Chains A and B, each alone.
Chain A
Amino acid sequence: MDTTQITDAPPPTPQPTPAEQKRNARGATRPGDRIFLGLSRGSGILLLVIMAAIAVFLTYRASLALSKNHGNFLTTFEWNTNVTPPSFGIAVLAYGTVISSIIAMVLAVPVAVAIALFLTHYAPRRLAGPIAYVVDLLAAVPSIVYGLWGALILVPHMTGLFGWLNDFFGWTGVFSWDQGAPRSLLTVGILLAVMILPIITNVSREVFRQVPQMHEEAALALGATRWEVIRMAVLPFGRSGVISASMLGLGRALGETMAVATVLSPDFLIHGSLLNPGGGTFAQNIASKFSEATEFGRDALIASGLVLFVITLLVNGAARMIIARRKEYSGANA
C-alpha cells in the first residue's frame, strides 16, 4: 500500500499504525490529546450537571415550602408566607402568565411576520438592509429599559385606548374598565409584544430569506402577483420556521420579569376584565415578593419558579421538535 511506503520513509518521526490512527481519530492516545478531550468533554458534562442541579435544588427547596403549605398550591388565591400557618398558591400567577403571554403573541406574531415580509419582499433594497440591522440591535435592548419605558411612557398613553375599548367593548366584560391606572394584564401583554417583536421578526426574516428562489420564480412564471407568490411559495415554506420563532418569543414572554414588575400593579385575584389592574405573573411575583420574604417565603417563591421552569421547558421542547421536523422536511426537498 502507498501509505506504508510513505510511513516507512521518514524514520525520525515514526508515523502511527492504522490502529493508532484509529485511536488518534478519537483523540485519546497522546497525553495532550487526552487532557484536551477530557477538558472539552468535561465542560459538556458540566453543562448537563448544571441543568440537573437546577432541577434538583429547585425541587428540594420547593418541597421544603410545599410540605408546610396550608393552602392548595394549585388553587389557592393568596400568597401569605409570612404568617402561620402559611398559605400560598399559583392559580393567579399561572393565569396572569398565560394571559399576558397570549396577548403578546396575538399582537406580536402577525406584525412580526408582516415586518419580516416587508424586509424580504416589499421594502426597497436600500432601506431593508439598515432596517434589518436596527431590528437586530433592538432585540438586544435590555428588558429593564423596556420596563422603564413601559411604566413611564406606555402606561400613561394607554388611557385613551382603554377608554375607547370600554366605550365600545365594555359590554363584553373582558374590556370593561373602572378608570383605574392602566397597569393591567393588557398593558403587560402589549409591552411584552413590543419586546418580543424584534426577536420574532429576526428569526422569521431569516426563514423567509431561505425560501429557494426557484419556488418563487415558479409562482411568478404562472402569473402570480407578489401577494400570490408569498401565499404559494413563501408562507408554506416558512410556516414551521415562523412557529419556532414564535415559540422562542413565547419563551421570552413567559419568563420576563422586569418589564412586568415595573408595569403591573399586582394583586392576588383573577379579574374578569383585562383592563382593570391586578393579577400577576410567576416572574413578576418572585421579583416583587422577594425583598420582604423570609427564608420560608423564598422557598415558596422557588416553588413557583420551578413551575415556571417546567413550563418554559415544555415550550422550548415543543419548539425544538418543530425545528427538527422542519430539518427532515427541507432535507427531503433539497
Chain B
Amino acid sequence: MAKRIDVSGLTAYYGSHKAIEDISMTVEPRTVTAFIGPSGCGKSTFLRTLNRMHEVTSGGRVEGKVLLDDEDLYGPGVDPVSVRREVGMVFQRPNPFPTMSIFDNVAAGLRLNGNVKKSELGDIVEKSLKGANLWNEVKDRLNKPGSGLSGGQQQRLCIARAIAVEPKVLLMDEPCSALDPISTLAIEDLIGELKERFTIVIVTHNMQQAARVSDRTAFFNLAAVGQPGKLIEIDDTERIFSNPSVQATEDYISGRFG
C-alpha cells in the first residue's frame, strides 16, 4: 500500500518570495522521515508541497517534480483532490470538525466518495479509531462532538480521520507541538505502529522526538532571513545525530545554533 516519494529540483514560492529552493530527496515506503531545522527554514512549506496543499495559500506555486511511485503530482492533468486522497495530512493544531460527532469526523473522508455501505462504514470507523489507539477511550461516546475530547485525543481523532481513507502517505506537520508530554508519547507510539502501513513524513521542532520516531532525518536551513530554505542533508537518523556529514547540522543538533 505505502508508496515511495521522489522529489527532484523542487522550488516553492509565496507570490514572488521564494520559500524553498531546489530540494531533492527520496522517501522510502514504510519509513518515518523527520524534517528538522530552525523556524522559517521552509520545512512545513516543503511538507505541504507533497500533497499540493501549498497552492491553497494565496500566491503559492511550485516548480519541480514530486513523484509518487513514478507518477508526478504536478504533472499535467493531475487532480489535486485525488492527490490529497493518496497523501493524507495531520496538522499542527488538532482540527476536528467542530459541528460533527466523533463518528462523523472519522467517516468524513469516506462519505465524500459516497459509495460506502452503512455497515461497512461502522467497521472502517472502528478500525481507524483502533489504528489511532483511540477506540477504547471513545467507543462509548461516538455520537458526542469531537471538540469535547482532550487535545491529545483530538489529535489522535484527526489521525484516525486521515487513515480512514487509506492514504499511501501520511504527512504530519508538528503534530505534537500543541500537546502535553503524555499525549505526545501516545502519538509517538502510534507513529511507530503506523509506519507498518504508511509512508510517514513528520515535521518537528523537537530533536529528541525526531531521534525517537524517525528512521531518516532531513535537516533544512536557510542562509539568512528572507533567503529561501534549503535541504542541507538527509541521512539515517542515527548518523545525523551521531556523525552528520555537514558542520551546520552538527551545530544545530548540538544546540550551537538556532
Q: Is B97 a contact partner of A215 (Cβ separation < 8 A)?
A: yes
Given the known interface contacts A214-B95, A217-B95, the answer about A333 and B147 at a Cβ–Cβ threshold of 8 Å is yes
Provide the B80-92 mask, 1 if CB < 8 A to any CB of A, else 0: 0111110011010
> Is B56 interfacial (CB-CB < 8 Å)?
yes
A interface size (C-beta, 8 A): 20
Q: Is A222 a contact partner of B98 (Cβ separation < 8 A)?
A: no
Q: Which residue of B lies closest to A214 (CB)?
A: B95
Across the interface, which residues of B come within 8 angstroms of A220, CB to CB? 53, 56, 84
**B window 65-91: CB within 8 A of A:** 81-85, 88-89, 91
Across the interface, which residues of A come within 8 angstroms of B158, CB to CB? 218
Q: Is B99 a contact partner of A218 (Cβ separation < 8 A)?
A: no
A218-B112 Cα distance, complex, nearest whole Å: 13
Segment at the interface with B among A4-12, A67-75, A229-237 = A229-237
Across the interface, which residues of B come within 8 angstroms of A222, CB to CB? 84-85, 88, 108-109, 112, 161-162, 165
Q: Is B84 a contact partner of A232 (Cβ separation < 8 A)?
A: no
> Is B51 interfacial (CB-CB < 8 Å)?
yes
Given the known interface contacts A219-B108, A232-B108, the answer about A214 and B56 at a Cβ–Cβ threshold of 8 Å is no
Besides the contacts A218-B97, A220-B84, A237-B99, what 11 more A-B pairs have beta carbons closer than 8 Å? Answer: A214-B95, A218-B91, A219-B97, A220-B56, A221-B53, A221-B89, A222-B88, A223-B82, A223-B109, A224-B84, A233-B97
Provide the A200-240 mask, 1 if CB < 8 A to any CB of B, else 0: 00000000000010110111111111001000110011000
> Is A125 interfacial (CB-CB < 8 Å)?
yes
Q: Which residue of A lies closest to B164 (CB)?
A: A222
Across the interface, which residues of A come within 8 angstroms of B58, CB to CB? 125
Q: Is A221 a contact partner of B97 (Cβ separation < 8 A)?
A: no
Q: Is A224 a contact partner of B81 (Cβ separation < 8 A)?
A: yes
Q: Is A221 a contact partner of B108 (Cβ separation < 8 A)?
A: no
A237-B108 Cα distance, complex, nearest whole Å: 15
A232-B108 Cα distance, complex, nearest whole Å: 8
Q: Which of B85, B88, B91, B108 contacts A214 (CB 8 A)?
A: B91
> Is A332 interfacial (CB-CB < 8 Å)?
yes
Across the interface, which residues of B come within 8 angstroms of A212, CB to CB? 95
**B window 138-184: CB within 8 A of A:** 147, 158, 161-162, 165
A332-B149 Cα distance, complex, nearest whole Å: 11
Across the interface, which residues of B come within 8 angstroms of A219, CB to CB? 97, 108
Residue of A215, A222, A236 contacting most chain B CB atoms (<10 Å): A222
Q: Which of A125, A217, A236 contacts B56 (CB 8 A)?
A: A217
Across the interface, which residues of A come within 8 angstroms of B82, CB to CB? 223
The 7 closest A-B pairs by CB, nearest first: A223-B85, A236-B99, A221-B89, A222-B109, A214-B95, A223-B84, A333-B98
Across the interface, which residues of A come within 8 angstroms of B97, CB to CB? 215, 218-219, 232-233, 236
**B window 221-247: CB within 8 A of A:** none
- 16 residue pairs of the A-B complex, CB under 8 angstroms, read A212-B95, A214-B93, A215-B97, A217-B91, A218-B97, A219-B108, A221-B51, A221-B84, A222-B112, A223-B81, A223-B82, A224-B109, A225-B81, A228-B112, A237-B99, A332-B147
A125-B59 Cα distance, complex, nearest whole Å: 11
Across the interface, which residues of B come within 8 angstroms of A232, CB to CB? 97, 108
Q: Is A224 a contact partner of B112 (Cβ separation < 8 A)?
A: yes
Q: Is A215 a contact partner of B108 (Cβ separation < 8 A)?
A: no
Across the interface, which residues of B come within 8 angstroms of A218, CB to CB? 91, 95-97, 158, 161
Q: Is B91 a contact partner of A237 (Cβ separation < 8 A)?
A: no
Across the interface, which residues of B come within 8 angstroms of A237, CB to CB? 98-99
Q: Which of B91, B98, B100, B112 contacts A223 (CB 8 A)?
A: B112
Q: Which residue of B lies closest to A216 (CB)?
A: B56
A220-B100 Cα distance, complex, nearest whole Å: 16
A232-B162 Cα distance, complex, nearest whole Å: 15
A223-B58 Cα distance, complex, nearest whole Å: 19
Across the interface, which residues of B come within 8 angstroms of A214, CB to CB? 91, 93, 95
Provide the A90-120 mask, 1 if CB < 8 A to any CB of B, else 0: 0000000000000000000000000000000
A238 to chain B, nearest CB (A): 10
A218-B157 Cα distance, complex, nearest whole Å: 12
Q: Which residue of B lies closest to A226 (CB)?
A: B81
Across the interface, which residues of B come within 8 angstroms of A215, CB to CB? 95, 97-98
A64 to chain B, nearest CB (A): 52
B217 to chain A, nearest CB (A): 24
Residue of A212, A217, A236 contacting most chain B CB atoms (<10 Å): A217
A242-B50 Cα distance, complex, nearest whole Å: 36
**A window 117-145: CB within 8 A of B:** 125
Q: Which residue of B lies closest to A235 (CB)?
A: B99
Q: Which residue of B lies closest to A125 (CB)?
A: B58
Across the interface, which residues of A come within 8 angstroms of B88, CB to CB? 221-222
**B window 43-71: CB within 8 A of A:** 51, 53, 56, 58
A208 to chain B, nearest CB (A): 14
Across the interface, which residues of B come within 8 angstroms of A228, CB to CB? 112
A62 to chain B, nearest CB (A): 45
Across the interface, which residues of A come within 8 angstroms of B89, CB to CB? 217, 221
Across the interface, which residues of B come within 8 angstroms of A332, CB to CB? 147
Q: Which residue of A lies closest to B59 (CB)?
A: A125
Q: Which residue of B lies closest to A223 (CB)?
A: B85
A219-B96 Cα distance, complex, nearest whole Å: 10
B120 to chain A, nearest CB (A): 18
